Amino acid sequence: MANHMVLEGAQVAAIQRCENQGCAALIISASVVTAATVIVSGSIVVIGNIAYWFERKARCQSAAAL
């Protein structure tokens, strides 16, 4: 058995009833928040998968030594 992490997509928010500059500001702020979330979450997934890989490698080596 091996653990791993997966980053899944989800809808962040729905844009309803916006006008002119309000729409632009809403879209820009939603884009910035989404980008930051993807970067942080993606980093966590990559680091977690690296940690799981090292853990699996250590278990395989200790099992081979027995």
The residues near 3 (Cβ < 8 Å, ≥ 6 apart) are 52, 55, 56
Q: Which two tokens stand for residue 40?
A: 């942080």
Q: How far apart are CA 45 and CA 60, in angstroms?
A: 22
The residues near 33 (Cβ < 8 Å, ≥ 6 apart) are 12
**pTM over cut 0.75:** no
Residue 28: per-residue pLDDT = 87
Higher pLDDT, residue 29 or 50: 50
The residues near 48 (Cβ < 8 Å, ≥ 6 apart) are 5
Residue 44: per-residue pLDDT = 95
**Per-residue model confidence as pLDDT tens digits over 7-43:** 888 776 667 777 777 788 888 888 898 899 999 999 9
